[in-house]
Amino acid sequence: MNQQNQSNGTPDKKLRILSGIQPSGTPTLGNYIGAMRNWKLLSNDYDCLYMIADLHSITVRQEPAKLRQQSTQLLALLLAIGLDPEQNILFFQSHVSQHTQLSWVLNCFTYMGEMSRMTQFKDKSAKHSDNINCGLFTYPVLMASDILLYQANLVPVGADQTQHLEICRDIANRFNGIYGNVFTIPEGYFPKFGAKVMSLQDPVRKMSKSDPDDCFISMLDNPDNVRRKIKRAVTDSDAAIAYDPENKPGVSNLLTIQSSLTGEAMDALVDSYAGKGYGVLKSNLTDVIIETLSPIQDKFNQYMNDKSYLETVWRSGAEHASRLAERTLSKVMKKVGFVSK
């Protein structure tokens, strides 16, 4: 990427990546290993926008003060993992009004049947049966708007988001089929590095910040909490340390975390534990996690103590994001037939 074009000597344009994360709680170690630590690596090769998806978070009832705090903390955490606001656009979704404007237009090009087939709507409806709101039903359209506003070429997706990317592509193709090539059709981006981290207490399920506290490591957990949680992590009655996700999911999960954080090949890591017990594995893993998280937490605290700098970052991010978003929205409004301002 960004190499010289051989025909005219000008640099090739970088592909654009958009990624979002909800401020519904502190990200887990699984979020960090599976996605967030790769974001800094992407900055060198791609034009990156990182969005704190606060609009998406209110499909579930939020405590206002807590939502504001978690949003600010998440911005500080993105900076702490090394995302440079001079190199990336970091912004709050709610600060860019074009997201909701485009979402309404795209709602009118999306069918009820398509939304009713979304598996996450079914899952969340079951979990929040007392609050099955319209936003929960149509938020894949808002997600499509997030992506299409910035003409994103690539979107990092996990298995649980593939369906949303597919509907985004369907909506974009439908609109383009009527009005011409207005939207870039995004592709899924699947990181070269990253691993799926499982729950510490139920290692056949993905680690999630919505689970009970002992099931996950938070990126802001102090050393005592990390030590306690790893010590209580599920293993099995067979004392042998081996990588076997099907028969030894708990031990395999702990090995996956250590291998991911140290970069050590799994075979070599398993060999290093020959003749040793789970206590050694858990002790070593605890040290590795603390060594990984401590410098991030130190930087996080520095940013949280400098609220004026955080505000500068989010204002600048909103300004840059809005400028890009308006280019797309203006084109959409004209194509649809609205009178120009």
**By the 8 A CB rule, do 147 and 186 touch?**
yes
Exactly one of 40, 206, 282, 331 is catalytic; name it.
Answer: 206
Q: Is 14 a catalytic residue?
A: no
Cβ-proximal residues to 46 (8 Å cutoff; 6+ apart), any chain: 1, 14, 15, 16, 17, 154
Q: Is 206 a catalytic residue?
A: yes
| Collapsed DSSP state (helix, strand, coil) of residue 20 | strand
Tokens of 159: 């298995």
**By the 8 A CB rule, do 17 and 151 touch?**
no
Q: Is 335 a catalytic residue?
A: no
CA distance linking residue 139 with residue 164, whole number of Å: 9
Query: Residue 274 burial by CB count (10 A; 0-12/13-18/19+): exposed, middle or buried?
Result: exposed
**By the 8 A CB rule, do 79 and 299 touch?**
yes
CA distance linking residue 335 with residue 147, whole number of Å: 19
Exactly one of 122, 192, 209, 282 is catalytic; name it.
Answer: 209
**By the 8 A CB rule, do 78 and 50 touch?**
yes
**By the 8 A CB rule, do 258 and 282 touch?**
no
Give the dihedral sign, CA 261/266/271/274. positive
Residue type at 41? Answer: L
Exactly one of 40, 124, 231, 276 is catalytic; name it.
Answer: 124
Residue 25: how many other CB atoms lie within 10 Å: 17
Query: Residue 243 burial by CB count (10 A; 0-12/13-18/19+): exposed, middle or buried?
Result: middle
C-alpha distances in Å from residue 229, one per residue of 77, 194, 200, 234, 254: 22, 22, 8, 10, 12
Residue 153: left if φ>0, alpha if ψ -120 to 50, beta else—which one? alpha
CA distance linking residue 74 with residue 213, whole number of Å: 19
Which sequence positions are flagged as catalytic? 124, 206, 209
